[in-house]
Amino acid sequence: MAAVLQKFATQADPRVLEEVRNIAAKEGKQLQAVVDEALRDFIEKKKRGSPRPEVMAAFGQSLEQFDELYKALAK
């Protein structure tokens, strides 16, 4: 069953809107699909509020492995 969509109106910088329209056309999507994807990405980014756990784990490993190098480079 398809999701029920709700119409809304907003405004955008004409250059941004043109870019979004170009992306939609290039990907063979409707503008609303690209806007929906952008809104979902925005929501996910705001919910996280901090780096992803896998990014922080990689950072921690890097610090363990290259701590002395980082200290030397900081001088």
Query: Per-residue pLDDT tens for 14-43?
Result: 999 999 999 999 999 999 999 999 999 999
What Å distances lie between residue 46 and 17, 57, 69, CA to CA? Answer: 22, 20, 34
**Gap between the Cα atoms of 53 and 60, Å rounded:** 10
From the centroid of its chain, how far is CA 22? 18
Query: Per-residue pLDDT tens for 49-64?
Result: 777 788 889 999 999 9
Mean pLDDT of the chain, nearest integer:
91
SS3 state at 11: coil
User: How large is the angle between the packed helices 14-27 and 31-48, nearest 10 degrees?
Assistant: 110
